[in-house]
């Protein structure tokens, strides 16, 4: 019989409402018992203003899914882990790379699951792309991840503040796919960060990496794009080209488009979290965040036109 996990959400904003609540409702392995959000309430469960109130009032809770911006992720995760709860982190898993290792150690000490989720890895084309690429020699990779920030982040000031990642907030989704599907590790060699003159974080970035065998991996991230998103990854190999489009929903290999089934990113995340809890395991891969940190370390900054929403 499937174990029923009593779960709560902390930070009820755009992604909690668009994806987490429907994914939990659609999985009979979970019951949503409560939410913690300073300004929002969710019908059909108990509501608290802070995660501390939630944890103090819900001793029977098994797990917490953290959906607030990354700048508050560590404090919320630490509180939930200390209370003995399994924890799922929205992407990015934190505001710094190092804080995640402290959370991993705490989860081990407490004997609970920590899942640093990367929703784009559950796009239906990603796993078949990874399997196909596993025995090929990659000769070059081109990533184009472009969208309109006004459409996808309306009124979200935190993305422009330190820790909010700017255009790397969506760009890290592309990096989460590339780090998953390429058979070789890769590292950043140079980056250009285009930063609005009135803000802290880049609105666009051009990155150059190389893989362990010297193949170039290039990425263009841009938030000043028109109404049709471009979320594409092209991997050239010795035996044909892999093309992932629409964020990983559409997979073409050597010119043939494969039937990869329906979109299932967040149902996939919650199925994986359930499996990790059941097996007593954790899944924490910081490599996409590490690449962003490297871009912030190595990237040259060019000031561009001020951004006003």
Residues that are catalytic: 91
Q: Is there a contact between 165 and 92 (Cβ–Cβ < 8 Å)?
A: yes
96 counts as binding ligand NAP under rule CB under 6 A: no
169 binds ligand NAP per the rule CB under 6 A: yes
Site for ligand NAP, residues 3 to 42, rule: CB under 6 A:
11-16, 37-40
Q: How many residues bind ligand NAP (CB under 6 A)?
A: 22
Choose the stretch contacting ligand NAP; rule: CB under 6 A; options: 69-77, 128-136, 182-190, 231-239: 69-77
Between 92 and 299, whose beta carbon lies closer to ligand NAP? 92
Instruction: Select the residue interacting with ligand NAP from 31, 46, 52, 72 (CB under 6 A).
Output: 72
68 binds ligand NAP (CB under 6 A): yes
- Residue 70 makes contact with ligand NAP by CB under 6 A: yes
246 close to 177: Cβ distance less than 8 angstroms:
no
> CB of 209: closest distance to ligand NAP in angstroms?
22
Of 16 and 133, the one with the shorter C-beta distance to ligand NAP is 16
Which pairing describes strands 230-237 and 240-245: parallel, antiparallel, or unpaired?
antiparallel
- In the bound state, the residue with its beta carbon closest to ligand NAP is 13
Contact indicator for 55, 85 with CB cutoff of 8 Å: yes
- Residue 75 vs 281, nearer CB to ligand NAP: 75
DSSP string for the chain = -PPPEEEEEE--SHHIIIIIHHHHHT-TTEEEEEEE-SS---TTSEEESSHHHHHHH-TT--EEEE-S-GGGHHHHHHHHHHTT-EEEEPSS--SSSHHHHHHHHHHHHHT--EEE--GGGGSTTHHHHHHHHTTS-EEEEEEEEE-BHHHHSTT-GGGGSTTS-TTHHHHHHHHHHHHHH-SS-EEEEEEEEEEETT-SS-SEEEEEEEETTS-EEEEEEESB--SS-EEEEEEEETTEEEEEEGGGTEEEETTEE----S--HHHHHHHHHHHHHHHT--B---HHHHHHHHHHHHPEEEEE-----
Rounded to an integer, what distance in angstroms lies between the CA atom of residue 306 and that of residue 301? 14
- Which residue's CB is nearer to ligand NAP, number 28 or number 39? 39
Per-residue x/- track, 107-146, ligand NAP (CB under 6 A): ------------x---------------------------
* Residue of 102, 142, 152, 271 interacting with ligand NAP (CB under 6 A): 152
Q: Does 151 bind ligand NAP (CB under 6 A)?
A: no
Binders of ligand NAP among residues 75 to 94 (CB under 6 A) are 90-91
Residue closer to ligand NAP, measured from CB, 13 or 216: 13
- CB nearer to ligand NAP: give 12 or 79: 12
Nearest-5° Cα angle at 291, 285 to 293: 105
CB of 28 to ligand NAP, least distance (A): 24
Tokens representing 137 are 């020699």
Q: Least CB distance from residue 282 to ligand NAP, whole Å? A: 19
Q: Which is nearer to ligand NAP, 35 or 178 (CB)?
A: 35
> Smallest gap, in angstroms, from Cβ of residue 234 to ligand NAP?
23
Task: List residues binding ligand NAP (CB under 6 A).
Answer: 11-16, 37-40, 67-70, 72, 90-91, 119, 152, 156, 158, 169
């Amino acid at each position: 019989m499937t174990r029923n996990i009593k779960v709560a959400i902390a930070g009820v904003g755009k992604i909690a409402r668009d994806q987490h609540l429907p994914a939990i409702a659609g999985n009979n392995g979970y019951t949503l018992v409560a939410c913690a959000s300073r300004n929002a309430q969710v019908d059909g469960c108990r509501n608290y203003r802070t995660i501390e109130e939630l944890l103090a009032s819900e001793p029977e809770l098994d797990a917490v899914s953290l959906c607030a911006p990354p700048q508050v992720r560590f404090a919320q995760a630490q509180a939930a882990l200390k209370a003995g709860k399994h924890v799922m982190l929205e992407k990015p898993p934190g505001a710094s790379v190092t804080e995640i290792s402290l959370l991993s150690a705490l989860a081990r000490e407490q004997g609970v699951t920590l899942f640093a989720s990367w929703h784009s890895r559950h796009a239906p084309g990603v796993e078949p792309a990874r399997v196909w690429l596993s025995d090929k020699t990659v000769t070059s990779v081109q990533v184009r991840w472009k969208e309109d920030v006004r459409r996808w982040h309306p009124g979200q000031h935190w993305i422009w503040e330190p820790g909010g990642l700017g255009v790397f907030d969506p760009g890290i989704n592309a990096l989460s796919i590339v780090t998953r599907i390429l058979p070789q590790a890769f590292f950043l060699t140079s980056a250009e960060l285009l930063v609005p003159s009135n803000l802290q974080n880049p609105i666009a970035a051009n990155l150059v990496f190389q893989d362990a065998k010297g193949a170039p991996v290039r990425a263009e991230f841009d938030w000043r794009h028109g109404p049709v998103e471009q979320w594409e990854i092209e991997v050239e190999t010795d035996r044909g080209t892999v093309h992932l489009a629409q964020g990983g929903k559409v997979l073409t290999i050597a010119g043939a488009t494969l039937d990869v089934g329906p979109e299932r990113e967040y149902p996939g995340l919650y199925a994986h979290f359930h499996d990790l809890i059941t097996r007593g395991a954790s899944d924490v891969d910081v490599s996409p965040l590490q690449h962003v940190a490297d871009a912030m370390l190595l990237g040259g900054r060019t000031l561009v036109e001020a951004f006003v929403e």
